[in-house]
Amino acid sequence: MSNLIRWEPAREMMTLREAMDHLFDDAFTRPLRLGNGQWSMPTVDMYQTDNEIVVKAAIPGVKTDDVQINVTGEVLTIKGEVKEKEDVKEKAYHLREQRWGVFERTIALPTDVITDKAKAEFENGILTITLPKAEEIRPKSITIKTK
């Protein structure tokens, strides 16, 4: 005699929803590993004031000599490499979440900048890039004369 199991479509949908949640979680919240050893890093904050655009990138464990910053038009590119420091012959990793290798991040800037006056500072694993806005982009105040 065979047992019949009642089919519950709601249970199947929850399983599909959980699978989609995991898919989106993995795709958009973890650093993306690209082919040829590259991965999407660093995480970036960007904001602007009246006179400049500021980009802060988290790149812990990177030496300043291993980072390149380029601005072409309205595109900022940060390239670099995180080098693995220890060489353990017998490895049996239980977790491996740290990223090693080459990284590159390209960011579209919201406006034209003066690249000659750009500054970059590196402190406690945070790279801060300050890009002055082009003169014609800066807001200008016009005073009103009364008669």
Query: pLDDT tens for residues 41-100?
Result: 688 999 999 899 999 999 888 888 889 999 988 899 999 888 777 767 777 777 777 777
Q: Count other C-beta atoms under 10 Å from residue 19's C-beta.
A: 10
* CA 144 vs CA 87, 135, 136, 139: distances in Å: 69, 22, 21, 16
Q: Is residue 144 part of a domain?
A: no
Instruction: Give residue 36's pLDDT.
Output: 47
Cβ-contact 43, 108 below 8 angstroms: no
Q: Is residue 94 part of a domain?
A: no
User: Is the same domain home to 45 and 22?
Assistant: no
Share of the chain above pLDDT 70, in %: 79
- Enclosing domain of residue 25: 8-32
User: Is the same domain home to 22 and 76?
Assistant: no
User: Is the same domain home to 81 and 62?
Assistant: yes
Q: What is the mean pLDDT of residues 15-39?
A: 62
pTM of the model: 0.64
